Amino acid sequence: MASLSLQMRDWRLTTAEILYHLPDHPSLLQSYTWQDYDLPPKFPQLRGFLDFWSRNLEGRLHSVKVAHLPVITPGGTRQAECLLTLQ
């Protein structure tokens, strides 16, 4: 129920692909996928997670790709091209 109230306030399902350097092998990159509801364009939840990562985890961040999509959207309408009646 909490996610519905967030969506009504324009929070969106946000997915981030985080590339980071492996602590033992800095020349290799590892991928991590993060997903949560967040508020674009500032993305406070993602920024908080990345701040936590920088302070507490050993893998140095390389890059972050972000995608977001509103889950609740207005319904679409279209006209029917024909009407058939079966008896």
Quick check: is 62 in a domain? yes
Higher pLDDT, 64 or 9: 64
Q: Tokens standing for 74? A: 């207005």
In a domain, 15, yes or no: yes
Q: Is there a contact between 12 and 4 (Cβ–Cβ < 8 Å)?
A: no
Domain assignment present for residue 84? The answer is no
pLDDT for 76: 66
Per residue in 13-49, pLDDT (tens digit) is: 899 999 999 999 999 999 999 999 999 999 999 999 9
Number of domains in the chain: 1
Percent of the chain predicted with pLDDT > 90: 61
Percent of the chain with pLDDT over 70: 92
34 belongs to a structural domain:
yes
Residue 27 lies in a domain: yes
- Domain interval for residue 50: 2-69
- The pLDDT score that the predictor gives to residue 82 is 79
Non-local CB neighbours of 43 within 8 Å, separated by 6+ positions: 14, 66
Residue 7: count of CB within 10 angstroms of its CB: 16
Global pTM?
A: 0.75
Instruction: Kindly state whether residue 59 falls inside one of the protein's structural domains.
Output: yes
DSSP 40: T
